[in-house]
Structure 1
Amino acid sequence: MRSVQPVTAPAPLVPTTLETAAIVGRLTPPRRAISGTGLRVFPLAVSARWFGSTISDTASGEILDAYRALGGNIVDTADSYADGRSEELIGDWMRRRGNRDEMVVATKVGKSTAHPGLSAAAITAAVHASLRRLGTDRVELLYLHLDDESVPFEETLLAVDELIRSGEVRTFGMSDHTGNRLVAARIACALLGVAPMTALQNQYSLMRREFEGDLAQVAAQQGLAVMPRFPLADGFLTGAYRTRADVAASPMRDYLGAHLGRRGRRVLAALERVAAQQDAPLAAIALAWLLTKPGVVAPVVAVGSADQLFDVMTAPDIRLTRHQLAELERASA
């Protein structure tokens, strides 16, 4: 008599981020305006900081696919990221998907080894090199990646204005400049009659709130679109790094260690309470808090894989109560 072999039930299929997006969908992806430019962007930008270095070429494409499927339309990179490889991967992806006109590309110049600094020659050469790597004829948003005080603002601003007039750059912003330097740049733009800056990218998160001083005041006065960098404090606000052992395993360990104190524990505890009330991930709550801040348009979020995007991309849909906002404010003070 033939023995009957037991039937093994197939393992349940776990939907991918893209499949989930197709099922759930977004009827009207929320967009925020970069004032004075006509650009409207999803309230979270995807960072290409690690594309081509710690994130593989394949994984980079998967992240961009998932981000686009979930309604995203702004990608943030720089000519210095992976020595330009980050820009190449973005350009390859846009060409394969045929979606260049649907994307807002933000890149930065000033820190690359090939074209360092913000002289007119360096800026022009750097932007042209970025355009070649991106495989496009323009970038929507160009950041000055550093404050190069060795070059007069007039020279830098005239070079940027020439790129805007030629159509190679749509608008520009600054990164890591002080409030005084932002004021000086705005005055120089007015005196020269050149295109004004429209965006600002600085560190800003529940763990880094220095922005809320003079910089926030200047940004508000000038109507700048604030695009916070490291909005999850190098990953600390995801809740994944709570001990020295956790931090030691991260490529961001040199930065994460600074958060492992009493204040960090207090912030994570507050995030956990609010996350439980909202039935949302800690990272989404941290981003939702940031999106309530005046002038904030699109925090720049880095993820390590496509599946990590689903959690953070829910942040714009979260509505924190006044009590929850106050709790997060107190914990991070």
Structure 2
Amino acid sequence: MTSLRKLGPSDLEVFPLSLGGNVFGWTADEAQSFAVLDAYTAGGGNFVDTADAYSAWVPGNEGGESETIIGRWFAARGNRSEVVLATKVGAHPRFKGLAAANIKAAAEASLRRLDTDYIDLYYTHYDDPSVPVEEIITALDGLVREGKVRAIAASNISPSGSRSPWSSPTARAWRGTSPSSRTTTWSRATRTRASSRTSPPATASRPSRTTPSPPAS
């Protein structure tokens, strides 16, 4: 049986292969999505990843479809406490960007769709250069202190990390919130391209790194 792994400095322990929910409500309807989620958890998986923007790009969708399906699955299976749930903020059509008020409103909307009172891992989906990093960190820290988010993370950050949530003096000195994960694109099929874009591997004192692209055979 595959053992769980600690995610960065957080207390989250996750299966090494997460299940991405970007197809839920897009190429997979609710029944198909439930079947995928059931198969993944039956195989020992406990790390489900989605975003509030999934799948706004589909004609007729408005975003949040994936979260809604996952929320219904939690309600049907009664297994919320058994899953480490990750979702993202900043790309939903109604909640674009990372202004503090936007992060708070988007988080509340995600909690409603997911039918839960907490998010295990909350990512910034993309950077927002128009918002000071200190404002972003303060907003995320507020969600952690309120018990609505357990750990924070960043997705699609620059190779230098110059605009990542852990780059600013304020973030490094923060007593409450510490980023637990970062997402970068990597797969053996695109190793040359991706390796030039990603930052150094995570260490015990750094956030864990997750990759959305599957390994190529």
TM-score scaled to structure 2, two decimals? Answer: 0.89
Task: Provide structure 1 residue ranges, at least 5 long, that are not aligned to the other structure.
Answer: 1-27, 238-281, 283-333
Residue aligning to 1:135: 115
Task: Provide the C-alpha distance between the structure 2 equivalents of 1:222 and 1:121, rounded to a whole number of angstroms.
Answer: 30
Moved over 6 A (4+): none
Residue aligning to 2:124: 144
Matches within 5 A, 1:245-260: none
Structure 1 residues 139 and 183 mapped into 2: Cα distance closer, same or farther (>3 Å)?
Answer: closer
Matches within 5 A, 1:256-271: none
Structure 1 residues 183 and 222 mapped into 2: Cα distance closer, same or farther (>3 Å)?
Answer: farther
Task: Provide the C-alpha distance between the structure 2 equivalents of 1:91 and 1:124, rounded to a whole number of angstroms.
Answer: 19
Matches within 5 A, 1:51-130: 51-82=24-55, 83-130=63-110
- Whether the 8 Å contact between 2:154 and 2:165 is mirrored in structure 1 is no
Query: Is 1:223 aligned to 2:206, yes or no?
Result: yes
Offset from partner CA, 1:231-268 (integer Å, 9 cap, x none): 24xxxx3xxxxxxxxxxxxxxxxxxxxxxxxxxxxxxx
TM-score scaled to structure 1, two decimals? Answer: 0.59
Partner-residue secondary structure (3-state), 2:200: helix
Identity %, equivalent residues? 38
Superposition deviation, residue 95 in structure 1: 1.1
Task: Provide the C-alpha distance between the structure 1 equivalents of 2:184 and 2:68, rounded to a whole number of angstroms.
Answer: 25
User: Number of matched residues?
Assistant: 207
Matches within 5 A, 1:19-34: 28-34=1-7
Structure 1 residues 102 and 221 mapped into 2: Cα distance closer, same or farther (>3 Å)?
Answer: closer
Offset from partner CA, 1:64-114 (integer Å, 9 cap, x none): 000011000010000000210100100111111110100000000000011
The amino acid of 2:213's aligned partner reads F
Superposition deviation, residue 222 in structure 1: 4.7
Superposition deviation, residue 56 in structure 1: 1.1
Offset from partner CA, 1:206-246 (integer Å, 9 cap, x none): 123345457432744852111101124xxxx3xxxxxxxxx
Structure 1 residues 228 and 50 mapped into 2: Cα distance closer, same or farther (>3 Å)?
Answer: same
The amino acid of 2:139's aligned partner reads A
Pick one of 182, 190, 202 that aligns with 1:200: 182
Partner-residue secondary structure (3-state), 1:223: coil
Partner-residue secondary structure (3-state), 1:185: coil
Matches within 5 A, 1:181-330: 181-182=163-164, 185-209=167-191, 210-213=193-196, 215-217=198-200, 219-220=202-203, 222-232=205-215, 237=216, 282=217
Offset from partner CA, 1:140-194 (integer Å, 9 cap, x none): 0000000100000011100000000011000011111112223863533124444
Partner-residue secondary structure (3-state), 2:85: strand
The amino acid of 1:229's aligned partner reads P
Superposition deviation, residue 135 in structure 1: 0.3
Task: Provide the C-alpha distance between the structure 2 equivalents of 1:104 and 1:218, rounded to a whole number of angstroms.
Answer: 22
Superposition deviation, residue 115 in structure 1: 0.8
Superposition deviation, residue 198 in structure 1: 1.2
RMSD: 1.9
Residue aligning to 1:47: 20
Partner-residue secondary structure (3-state), 1:80: coil
- Whether the 8 Å contact between 2:25 and 2:66 is mirrored in structure 1 is yes
More helix by share: 1
More strand by share: 2
Structure 1 residues 194 and 48 mapped into 2: Cα distance closer, same or farther (>3 Å)?
Answer: same
The amino acid of 1:99's aligned partner reads N
Task: Provide the C-alpha distance between the structure 1 equivalents of 2:180 and 2:46, rounded to a whole number of angstroms.
Answer: 18
Task: Provide the C-alpha distance between the structure 1 equivalents of 2:93 and 2:148, rounded to a whole number of angstroms.
Answer: 22
Partner-residue secondary structure (3-state), 2:96: coil
Structure 1 residues 40 and 218 mapped into 2: Cα distance closer, same or farther (>3 Å)?
Answer: closer
The amino acid of 2:74's aligned partner reads M
Task: Provide the C-alpha distance between the structure 1 equivalents of 2:196 and 2:45, rounded to a whole number of angstroms.
Answer: 30
Structure 1 residues 214 and 84 mapped into 2: Cα distance closer, same or farther (>3 Å)?
Answer: closer
